Amino acid sequence: MYTANEKRYETMKYNRCGKSGLKLPAVSFGLWHNFGDNNDYENMKDLCFTAFDNGITHFDLANNYGPAEGAAEINFGKILKEELSSYRDELIISTKAGYYMWPGPYGDWGSRKYLISSLDQSLKRMNLEYVDIFYHHRMDPDTPLEETMEALDQIVRSGKALYVGISNYDGENLEKAAAILNSLHTPFIINQNRYNIFTRNIEQNGLKEKAKELGKGIICFSPLAQGLLSDRYLNGIPTDSRMRTDGRFLKEDQLDETKLKSIKVLNEIAKRRGQTLAEMALAWILKDDYVTSVLIGASKSSQILDNIKAIENTHFTEDELKEIDKYSIV
């Protein structure tokens, strides 16, 4: 049986999630990749242990993480039951629903039927009575926003989630969602969105400023742009890279000569700061109080340990920020 590091809370930073009472670690652990049926179970355990031993209390999942869909929740639920159950009250566990999960009209998007049914399935897969945060995973153009938000409210009132969040919304719809949830007194506290040096959508669509104005937290996924903002691709595309082995989310045409030049320049900026490119990319997201936490993924425990180093220096000079902006491709 696993025993956690007694010094796990000594170095991690914890940020208040908007104006709520909940604090999240500056670095959270996402189970989007590397927790499917095609991954090694012992390595999954080691990843979770390394994260928690170093103060990462937040584990982020979704109903369709795998492969196959649901596999990440099943594997994490097994680890939780066998190794981490005594630490449940020290953990923040989140999951989501909003993308395709099962056939037919009730396994996708944002209806009350889908969200509540999906969470019930997620809880069974993880052997949990509740999750700490439940997200609607993406905006639904056809279901009334009121129905989706009222379903989130019902989920909290039923005791199946402590807080709710929304993911992949823009600033305008964040404001609309917040108005509905605030009127219901639902503990809506967080937005989850893609954000990195190369991907600035939350700046462009107003979400970053609107979340701050409304007192809501932001947690960012893909902070390393699927590995582009690391030393992984500095010398081209490795044969064992995700770009070569799994082209679903990172395609070879995303690494053209212009992008490669930018990565190399950004790497030089990081070196001057005494950081790796990955450390700087994470630190850049955490440089101000807009973002509560960054979600990292990992296939090796050493990657988690390397990424945590980002919190040691999140200060940037104005010249550094201008240079990073110059070589970011928006």
pLDDT in tens, 265-302: 999 999 999 999 999 999 999 999 999 999 999 999 99
The residue type of 22 is: L
What are the boundaries of each domain within the chain? 14-227+277-314
**How far is residue 85's CA from residue 162's CA, in Å, rounded to a whole number?**
18
The pLDDT, as a whole number, for residue 180 is 98
3-state SS, residue 195: coil
The rounded percent of the chain whose pLDDT value lies above 70 is: 94
Question: Beta-carbon neighbour count of residue 168 at 10 Å?
Answer: 20
For residue 1, the model assigns a pLDDT of 86
pLDDT of residue 255: 74
**How do 188-194 and 217-221 pair as beta strands?**
parallel
201-237 pLDDT, tens digit each: 999 999 999 999 999 999 999 999 989 999 988 877 6
pLDDT score of 41: 98
Segment holding 164, helix H or strand E:
strand 161-167
Q: What's the pLDDT score for residue 203?
A: 96
Would you state the pLDDT for residue 257? Answer: 85
DSSP 83: I
Helix runs in 193-256, H state only: 201-204, 207-214, 242-245
Note the pLDDT tens digit of each residue in 141-195: 999 999 999 999 999 999 999 999 999 999 999 999 999 999 999 999 999 999 9
pLDDT averaged over every residue in the chain: 94
Q: Say whether pLDDT at 259 is over 80.
A: yes
Helical residues (DSSP H) of the chain, grouped into ranges: 41-53, 71-79, 112-126, 145-157, 171-183, 201-204, 207-214, 242-245, 257-272, 277-285, 301-308, 318-327
pLDDT at 238 over 70: no
What number is the average pLDDT over the span 72-88? 98
pLDDT above 70 (res 7): yes
Please tell me which residue, 117 or 250, carries the higher pLDDT value.
Answer: 117
Question: Computed from CA positions of residues 139, 183, 216, 87, in that sequence, does the dihedral angle turn out positive or negative?
Answer: negative
Handedness of CA 135, 246, 67, 232 (dihedral sign): negative
Contact 54, 308 (CB under 8 A): yes
pLDDT digits (tens, 9 = 90+) for 14-57: 999 999 999 999 999 999 999 999 999 999 999 999 999 999 99
- Domain 14-227+277-314 fold is TIM Barrel (3.20.20)
Q: How much is the pLDDT for 251? A: 59
Kindly report the pTM of this predicted structure: 0.94
Q: What is the pLDDT of residue 233?
A: 82
